[in-house]
Amino acid sequence: MIVAFSITPLGVGEGVAEPVARAVKVVRDSGLPNQTDAMFTTIEGEWDEVMDVIKRAVEAVAEVAPRVGLVLKADLREGVTDGMTSKVESLEHHLS
Amino acid sequence: MIVAFSITPLGVGEGVAEPVARAVKVVRDSGLPNQTDAMFTTIEGEWDEVMDVIKRAVEAVAEVAPRVGLVLKADLREGVTDGMTSKVESLEHHLS
Amino acid sequence: MIVAFSITPLGVGEGVAEPVARAVKVVRDSGLPNQTDAMFTTIEGEWDEVMDVIKRAVEAVAEVAPRVGLVLKADLREGVTDGMTSKVESLEHHLS
Amino acid sequence: MIVAFSITPLGVGEGVAEPVARAVKVVRDSGLPNQTDAMFTTIEGEWDEVMDVIKRAVEAVAEVAPRVGLVLKADLREGVTDGMTSKVESLEHHLS
């Protein structure tokens, strides 16, 4: 499955890049395909491995923030691999 | 933590109440505090127990739909219990 | 359409009930069907009226917070009225 | 503000690249800074211009689907411009 998620630390001020970087580091160290933009980090894998990474990313932020918000959107489709690339390619094909 | 989530089955037509009911049944059978409205089901518990329920809810829908979307919003705050009730009470206190 | 949304003030500490209450007040004053639980406020109406309410709710929070997060999930279906009630009834019908 | 959004057409089968491409076309034609990956399209601008683009993107999908889901996450911060780039740069700075 493909999952885009965003972690918001509360109670640490309005600038949150440092605590959020802790979460992104967990994702990059995970070995799963991943990509981070201004709003979400997207990763791809099986449910258990993806959710384990997100749990540890949330924990890494919770170490430095008293309250943590998590928003997640997942796309689960049997038999799809490399969906992070193929979905965008399919979309661009329809746009060209 | 408190988690609100919504499961969307794709490839089964525009009416999705029947597959979505499979997910809500998993949640109600879980024993965790839960509530379902028109847009989200909200449950409260520890990460592992909540995510286990959501995983099984997704699987119950995936049994009858070729593709499943999941949207989830979580609020994690150390030391808060019965947050589903206390958050609304705190809010109403500020509104009265 | 039915819209569930949640506003998160950043830079005001971890307790956010007071700024969030400002948003809920805007919604309740709007006259649109609405409901607030621990995670989301749900409202129903046409796009322009719903989005106008959400814009004013966000502005009410932005008056007291330097940064504001908004999460929104909408369900748009032509010809559906009173969806906040009918969706839950349809779901309960499948569960009974 | 920066907004990441995702439109899901229901009732058109499990493959949704074609209707979704209609939404992305509206965004690209808007002239606002934008970026599309496997899960979300991100755009940046003022509330009214961003919401107008999203409304027209939703309408473009609704022309070919009987039911449309919208998920949106926004980050509103006074005085921030070019946030799509600067947020990622700030994050990478903390990761290096």
Domain residue spans of chain D: 2-95
Positions in chain B whose pLDDT score sits under 70: none
Centre a 10 Å sphere on the Cβ of residue D85 and count the other Cβ atoms it contains.
13
| A/D interface, count of CB pairs below 8 Å | 88
Residue whose pair of structure tokens reads 């989005």 in the numeric block: C51
Check whether A10 has a pLDDT greater than 90: yes
Q: Tell whether A75 lies on the interface with B, counting CB pairs under 8 A.
A: yes
Shortest Cα–Cα distance, A9 to chain D (Å): 14
pLDDT higher at D93 or B79 = D93
Confidence of residue C4 (pLDDT cuts 50, 70, 90): very high
Q: Which of A41, A70, A91 has the highest number of chain D CBs within 10 A, making it the mutation to test binding with D?
A: A91
Helical H runs in B2-46?
Answer: 17-29
Q: For residues B79 and A67, is the Cβ–Cβ distance under 8 A?
A: no
Check whether A48 has a pLDDT greater than 90: yes
Would the CB atoms of A76 and B55 count as touching at under 8 Å? no
Find residue D43's DSSP bridge partners. D3, D34
Confidence of residue C78 (pLDDT cuts 50, 70, 90): confident
Average pLDDT of the residues of chain D: 95
Across the range A29-47, mean pLDDT stands at 97
Confidence of residue A82 (pLDDT cuts 50, 70, 90): confident
Would the CB atoms of D13 and B8 count as touching at under 8 Å? no
| A/C interface, count of CB pairs below 8 Å | 24
Topology annotation, domain A2-95: Alpha-Beta Plaits (3.30.70)
Interface chains of chain D (3 or more CB pairs under 8 Å)? A, B, C
Average pLDDT of the residues of chain C: 95
Give percent of chain C above pLDDT 90.
Answer: 88
Confidence of residue D81 (pLDDT cuts 50, 70, 90): confident
Closest CA to D37 of A43, C11, C78: A43
DSSP summary character for residue C2: E
Task: Give CA angle at A80 (A79, A82), nearest 5°.
Answer: 140
The CA distance from C86 to C91, in Å, is 9
Centre a 10 Å sphere on the Cβ of residue B82 and count the other Cβ atoms it contains.
11
The pLDDT, as a whole number, for residue C70 is 98
For residue B13, the chain D residues in CB contact (below 8 A) are 10-11
